[in-house]
């Protein structure tokens, strides 16, 4: 993985984590937390969405959308665990 790919990976993670934090109210993790949430969300979406037959497409916008979906799922799971 080149440095450019790593930078894009981190930017996509930060955008996805930030957007997921806006969608799921009450979660603000800061820049580093948003990157982690976005990256973990991308991993979740990369595993889950093809299994349920949802394919959004290619490109950076599709990657951000996938990561946001996964990050929202992650934040909702965190919210459920915190309530229990």
Q: Crossing angle for the helix pair 30-51 and 3-23, nearest 10 degrees?
A: 90
In a domain, 2, yes or no: no
Residue range 40-63: average pLDDT?
A: 88
Q: For position 83, what pLDDT does the model report? A: 81
Domain hosting 42: range is: 11-83
55 — phi, psi (to 5°)?
Answer: -120, 120
Q: Domain count of the chain?
A: 1
In a domain, 29, yes or no: yes
In a domain, 26, yes or no: yes
In a domain, 1, yes or no: no
Q: Considering the chain, what percentage of its residues have pLDDT values greater than 70?
A: 95
């Amino acid at each position: 993985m080149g440095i450019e790919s790593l930078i894009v990976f981190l930017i996509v993670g930060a955008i996805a984590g930030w957007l997921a934090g806006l969608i799921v109210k009450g979660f603000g993790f800061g820049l580093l937390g948003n990157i982690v949430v976005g990256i973990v969300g991308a991993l979740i979406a990369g595993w889950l969405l093809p299994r349920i037959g949802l394919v959004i497409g290619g490109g950076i916008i599709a990657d951000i959308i996938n990561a946001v979906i996964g990050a929202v799922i992650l934040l909702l799971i965190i919210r459920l665990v915190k309530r229990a």
